[in-house]
Amino acid sequence: MPQANTGVNDFAFKLANVNGTGSASANGLLMQAIFRMGIPVSGKNLFPSNIQGLPTWYEIRVNKDGRTSRALDYDLIVAMNAQTYARDIKEVRTGGYLLFDSTWPLDRALRRPDVTFLGVPFAQLCVEHFRESRERILMKNIAYAGSLIALLDIEWSVVEALLQETFGKKKALLESNHKALKLGYDFAKQNFECPLPFRLQRMDANGDKILIDGNTATALGALYAGCTVAAWYPITPATSVMESFKSLCERYRKDPQTGKNNFAILQAEDELAAIGMVIGAGWAGARAFTSTAGPGVSLMNEFLGLAYYAEIPAVLVDVQRVGPSTGMPTRTQQADLLSCAYASHGDTKHILLFPAHPAECFEFSVKSFDLAEKFQTPVILLSDLDIGMNDWVVPRLTWNDDYRPDRGRVLSPEQLEKLAAFHRYSDEDEHFVTPRTLPGFSPKGAYLTRGSGHNRLGGYTELPEEYQAVVDRLAQKHRAAAPFIPPAVIESRRSTRGKGKGRTPFSLVTLGGCDAAVREALDLLSEMGVPGDYMRIRGFPFGAEVETFLNAHDVNYIVEQNRDHQLKSLIALETNVPKEKLRSMLFYGGFPLSAGQVVEGLLSALGKSEGEAARGLGGMPEALSGAEG
Amino acid sequence: MPSIAKPSAAPSGSQTNDLGLTVRDYEGAMSTLCAGCGHDSITAALIRALWELSIQPHRIAKMSGIGCSSKTPTYFASGAHGFNSVHGRMPAVATGAAAANRGLYYIGISGDGDSLSIGLGQMSHAIRRNVRMLYVIENNGVYGLTKGQFSASADVGSKLKKGEENRMAPIDPAFLGLSIGATFVARSFSGDKQQLVPILKAALKHRGLALVDVISPCVTFNDHEGSTKSYLYTRKHERPVAQADLVPPAEEILAPIGAKGVTTIAMHDGSLVRFSALPEGYDPGDRAKVLPYLQEQQAQGLIPTGLLYLDESVPDMHEMNNTTDTPLIQVPFESLCPGSGALEELMEGFR
Ligand SMILES: Cc1ncc(C[n+]2csc(CCOP(=O)(O)OP(=O)(O)O)c2C)c(N)n1
Ligand code: SF4
């Protein structure tokens, strides 16, 4: 029998279920229990675009060092879906375990000598102990959670507390969940050696961190930024942004005296209308936003161009999913970059923000409203399904009560009074922003907002010089926003002493949710003797540091989740970095990235096998050949 | 869109309204539409209605899409903010603006192309939402700005200038509005200012979306024999149905409620709309009867006009959403942001 993983707080397991059988609560319970034991953990929901019946997986990675990218190496798989047995069994690593429902015999041919098979008759146990058929299905999941408590050494008291919190007042539910947990637990205790060689042990690595998904954090940002109007149309994976925003508003935005809402959330008839409403509200002076995914962004294009040209603040949250077209709605990608950067016809450019995890979703969500008003333009927050819908361990979100919204240049009636005349598109500040007025406040500030050619005075024009003056200022304004975009995160794994000192042959550059995997990959590469530098770009327009960093490296591998190297293209288009310095490393199958994939990608780009690297690559080759994008 | 400033001298002896403003104060830039375009007559009626109601120009938000008709906001109430948005999407923009600031008079101006083709969805949903606004469709049966193609309101058999005949059934905004729950439906004719001005006044006072379909001949592309939206055809076939008068809140009501042929409906601000219905038994408050009546008239090629239907009982968008009475843009940030304490508490839920 090959050696099993004996790591404490360092392993990964995967739960294979059937969609719609209620496994989400069992999986969430496990994830949260591990989190509460103070152990760094991450969970990835790999679910189908289907309500019931298709296979669905949930992966949990436990890592004492705080590694949270997706693990592809499973020490344990809980196989509850007979349809996917063959595939699941194949994925267990040598020396690993398979926990399965032994109510039905497992095909002999599927067994592997290098894997330990642990059979628990979950279905049978539930049939014996529960009466209703729906309950029998649901409780099977809780029962496997029970077995895992025994096998992985999860603390009972933690699970107990979680059940109390979830079902507190629903006594019957609490009891049946308890019963199911015990069934699985007792069976495992009596029949297997518990715990497994790899297991959990309480630690204190989570401090006062929280477990939260990106969509909830984004919604919190909108709430704290003082957004009052939201318009949306349902779409996976963005729907929960608005659902969270709504429930937060119900809780925090009711006028205590009247019980009336200090907000308006409008479920629009489509995305065209949703962004139109946001623009109308922004024009009237409210902080407004919409949330959507790729197909919605496609529909919003015309309006985004209007807001850009007429200079109206608007915030758009794009929780990216796999395209093109309807694509794979429940899979993740970073493929809306270019379509968002230049959304709409004509010369149009937008401000983009790329959060990497829920804490940044919160921070950048607030920031989008400030940037949108400061620069009087649409701001697009580019999240994705992995960030948005999975739970992440992140630092506790905090708030500075001194924060006041940056409303940008809005003239008050008093300021208007002092002006000889008001002209919407004249008198720009150092950021090329011109003052605006809001309807309803002063007779003096009235003007006609138009998406047709206008001059500095706001009047219609078809004169080349007048038209160009305005669009040139818009280009300058976009560039002027760069210093206000969160700067790139830059790190070095390179020694500052010895042989490698001063040489910077390669870097890994990425954005958004690839962060964890790429950083972990760089650590692994460092250990192999292939140290590289790191940069995570956090928004567009790019800050000066982006270009400086890229120029300082012979080769920059740009890791992104799309087929057409969109970040690389945007860099090539919008900076003066020589193209030879930019190489692509692309992953776009729809699943979150793992560090192993990046390591493999880099080694093959360098033309080295992992073995060679391990034997020591020493100094870096002068010329790095490899992946071309 | 091109606009030409008007000479600034006010005509002498102009009457002033309650705000001390003259009709001139409600005008806009010089129209650049074709001389004789029906849209300009509607502008004139609007100017009159706004002046008569003594609405402060800067409390008006003029919203439009794209088309000759959608240029209209330039030509009235130059003291008001205007928003000339994109083709067919005025309703969404108006909805968002109204959501943000419920304290203004929203006037949406659209065309039959703008509202009945590309914008049909948005118009329908603004009606369903009962957004408080005056929604004017300047209906000429063609696309004016793109030079004369059929629009969705062209009648079967009506002809383009070059003789091409329309075969598809028209979308009638009044029918549409009635069937999806519009709370104010009127039709008028740009050439009938007598009728149009009181309709617009009532519409501006309506609690909800007031849909006003105005037949507005396009003199350049659709004012010829064979067109059912021509000036002559409309003149000949117009059938006034319910003559409406707006009685301001303070005024004594002269016609007793229930008097023969007179119906009175109270508006939100206390003013009254007094109908003198022409056809026997026409009740502008009874949707079930209004629809068949209109259909029967249409079958005879007639164009019933007037304030056809009015219902003040349906909640508007803000009431449906339980939005606070204070315009949202005036709610102070301090009562919008829950603060650090609340966030700390919230964070416990994520532990
Ligand atoms: C997305 C889009 N498609 C097409 C057009 C071109 N277009 C401009 S106005 C118009 C039709 C206007 O017709 P209508 O609303 O009836 O107004 P009218 O000019 O007749 O008053 C069209 C199709 C456009 N501006 N935008
Ligand atoms: S083309 Fe027709 S609709 Fe347009 S301005 Fe001329 S007459 Fe009016």
**Chain B residues 10-49 within an 8 A CB cutoff of chain A:** none
What pLDDT, on a 0 to 100 scale, did the predictor assign at position A59? 96
Closest CA of chain A from B277, distance in Å: 36
Can you tell me the ipTM of this complex?
A: 0.96
Is residue B162 predicted with pLDDT exceeding 90?
no
Q: Residue A38, CB half-sphere, CA atoms under 13 Å: how many?
A: 6
Tens-place pLDDT, residues A29-38? 999 999 999 9
SS (H, E, C) B284-323: CCCHHHHHHHHHHHHHCCCEEEEEEEECCCCCCHHHHHCE
What pLDDT, on a 0 to 100 scale, did the predictor assign at position B286? 92
What pLDDT, on a 0 to 100 scale, did the predictor assign at position A509? 98
Identify the helix (H) or strand (E) that includes residue A156. Answer: helix A156-167
Secondary structure of residue B239 in the 3-state scheme: strand
Which among A260, A440, A450 has CB closest to B101?
A: A440
> B84 and A452 in contact (C-beta within 8 Å)?
yes
If you compute the radius of gyration of chain B from its CA atoms, what whole number of angstroms results?
21
| Any A CB within 8 A of B234 CB | no
Q: Give the mean model confidence (pLDDT) for residues A461-484.
A: 97
Secondary structure of residue B129 in the 3-state scheme: helix
Is residue A622 predicted with pLDDT exceeding 50?
no
Is residue A620 predicted with pLDDT exceeding 70?
no
Q: Give the mean model confidence (pLDDT) for residues B289-311.
A: 93
Instruction: Please name the residues in contact with A7: beta carbons below 8 A apart, sequence gap of 6 or more.
Output: A198
What pLDDT, on a 0 to 100 scale, did the predictor assign at position A498? 59
Nearest CA in chain A to B62: A448
Residue with tokens 């070059």: B162
Is residue B8 predicted with pLDDT exceeding 70?
no
Closest CA of chain B from A446, distance in Å: 5
Phi, psi of B144 (to 5 degrees): -75, -55
Q: Give the mean model confidence (pLDDT) for residues B201-208.
A: 97
| Any B CB within 8 A of A267 CB | no
Contacts with B318 from chain A: Cβ below 8 Å: 264
The pTM of the whole model exceeds 0.90: yes
Of the candidate ranges A470-474, A494-498, A515-519, B160-164, the one whose mean pLDDT is the lowest: A494-498
| pLDDT band, very low/low/confident/very high, at A617 (cuts 50, 70, 90) | very low
- CA A294 to chain centroid, in Å, comes to 14
| pLDDT band, very low/low/confident/very high, at A504 (cuts 50, 70, 90) | low
Report how far residue A313's alpha carbon sits from residue A11's, in angstroms, rounded to the nearest whole number.
46
Nearest CA in chain B to A165: B349
Whole-Å CA distances, A504 to A532, A620, A621, A624: 8, 9, 11, 12
For chain B, give me the number of helices (H) and strands (E)? 10, 12
Contacts with B78 from chain A: Cβ below 8 Å: 446
Instruction: Please name the residues in contact with A496: beta carbons below 8 A apart, sequence gap of 6 or more.
Output: none
Residue B166's CB is within 10 A of a number of other CB atoms, namely 22
Secondary structure of residue A572 in the 3-state scheme: helix
| pLDDT band, very low/low/confident/very high, at B66 (cuts 50, 70, 90) | very high
> B150 and B221 in contact (C-beta within 8 Å)?
no
Q: What separation in Å is there between the alpha carbon of B190 and the centre of ligand 1? A: 20
Q: Describe the crossing of helices B193-205 and B38-52 by its angle, rounded to 10 degrees.
A: 50
Report how far residue A32's alpha carbon sits from residue A163's, in angstroms, rounded to the nearest whole number.
11
Is residue A321 predicted with pLDDT exceeding 80?
yes
Q: For residue A526, what is the DSSP state? A: H
Among B314, B317, B253, CA closest to B285? B314
Among A627, A622, A483, A477, CA closest to A546? A483
Tens-place pLDDT, residues A406-458? 999 999 999 999 999 999 999 999 999 999 999 999 989 999 999 999 999 99
Edge-to-edge strand ranges of the sheet holding A314-320? A264-267, A229-232, A288-292, A314-320, A378-384, A351-353, A539-540
Q: Give the mean model confidence (pLDDT) for residues B154-182.
A: 94
Among A545, A566, A573, A578, CA closest to A629? A566
* Residue A322, strand partner residues: A328
Residue bearing the bigger pLDDT, A501 or B232: B232
Say yes or no for a CB contact (<8 Å) between B95 and A303.
no
Tens-place pLDDT, residues A202-229? 999 999 999 999 999 999 999 999 999 9
Secondary structure of residue B181 in the 3-state scheme: coil
Report how far residue A190's alpha carbon sits from residue B126's, in angstroms, rounded to the nearest whole number.
65
> Is residue B169 classed exposed, middle or buried when 0-12, 13-18 and 19+ CB atoms within 10 A define those classes?
exposed
E strands in A115-206: 116-120
If you compute the radius of gyration of chain A from its CA atoms, what whole number of angstroms results?
27
Among A193, A458, A182, CA closest to A311? A458
Which atom of ligand 1 lies at the shortest distance from residue B87's CA?
26
Measure the CA angle with vertex A205, ends A202 and A207; round to 5°.
Answer: 110
Contacts with B93 from chain A: Cβ below 8 Å: 276-277, 279-280, 283
Tell me which amino acid residue B25 is: D
Tens-place pLDDT, residues A367-409? 999 999 999 999 999 999 999 999 999 999 999 999 999 999 9
- CA A421 to chain centroid, in Å, comes to 47
Nearest CA in chain B to A396: B347
Closest CA of chain B from A233, distance in Å: 13
What pLDDT, on a 0 to 100 scale, did the predictor assign at position A274? 98
Report how far residue A183's alpha carbon sits from residue A139's, in angstroms, rounded to the nearest whole number.
10
Residue nearest atom 2 of ligand 2, based on CA coordinates? B218
What pLDDT, on a 0 to 100 scale, did the predictor assign at position A628? 30
Report how far residue A383's alpha carbon sits from residue A514's, in angstroms, rounded to the nearest whole number.
11
> Is residue A51 classed exposed, middle or buried when 0-12, 13-18 and 19+ CB atoms within 10 A define those classes?
exposed
Closest CA of chain B from A398, distance in Å: 7
Q: Average pLDDT of chain B?
A: 93
Among B300, B194, B195, B190, CA closest to B241? B195
Say yes or no for a CB contact (<8 Å) between B96 and A288.
yes
What pLDDT, on a 0 to 100 scale, did the predictor assign at position A166? 87
Report how far residue B310's alpha carbon sits from residue B292's, in angstroms, rounded to the nearest whole number.
16
> A314 and A268 in contact (C-beta within 8 Å)?
no
Q: What separation in Å is there between the alpha carbon of A247 and the centre of ligand 1? A: 40
What pLDDT, on a 0 to 100 scale, did the predictor assign at position A616? 46
Q: Average pLDDT of chain A?
A: 93
Tens-place pLDDT, residues A108-158? 999 999 999 999 999 999 999 999 999 999 999 999 999 999 999 999 999
Report how far residue B3's alpha carbon sits from residue A519's, in angstroms, rounded to the nearest whole number.
59
Among B113, B227, B132, B127, CA closest to B180? B127
Tens-place pLDDT, residues A241-274? 999 999 999 999 999 999 999 999 999 999 999 9
Instruction: Please name the residues in contact with A553: beta carbons below 8 A apart, sequence gap of 6 or more.
Output: A504, A505, A506, A507, A533, A581
What pLDDT, on a 0 to 100 scale, did the predictor assign at position B252? 63
> B99 and A266 in contact (C-beta within 8 Å)?
yes
| Any A CB within 8 A of B81 CB | yes
Q: Which tokens in the block code for residue B22? A: 């003259």
Among B207, B328, B65, CA closest to A284? B328
Q: Describe the crossing of helices A595-606 and A515-527 by its angle, rounded to 10 degrees.
A: 60
Residue with tokens 């729907």: A239
Judging by DSSP bridges, how do beta strands B149-150 and B142-143 pair with one another?
antiparallel
Report how far residue B36's alpha carbon sits from residue B145's, in angstroms, rounded to the nearest whole number.
15
| pLDDT band, very low/low/confident/very high, at B127 (cuts 50, 70, 90) | very high
Residue A544's CB is within 10 A of a number of other CB atoms, namely 12
What pLDDT, on a 0 to 100 scale, did the predictor assign at position A496? 63
On the question of a cis peptide bond just before residue A324, with omega within 30 degrees of 0, the verdict is: yes
Q: Residue B142, CB half-sphere, CA atoms under 13 Å: how many?
A: 27
Most confident of A491-495, B6-10, B132-136, B262-266: B132-136
SS3 content of chain B, % helix, strand, coil (to 5): 35, 20, 45
What pLDDT, on a 0 to 100 scale, did the predictor assign at position B254? 59
Q: What separation in Å is there between the alpha carbon of B147 and the centre of ligand 2? A: 8
Residue A530's CB is within 10 A of a number of other CB atoms, namely 22
Say yes or no for a CB contact (<8 Å) between A404 and B81.
no
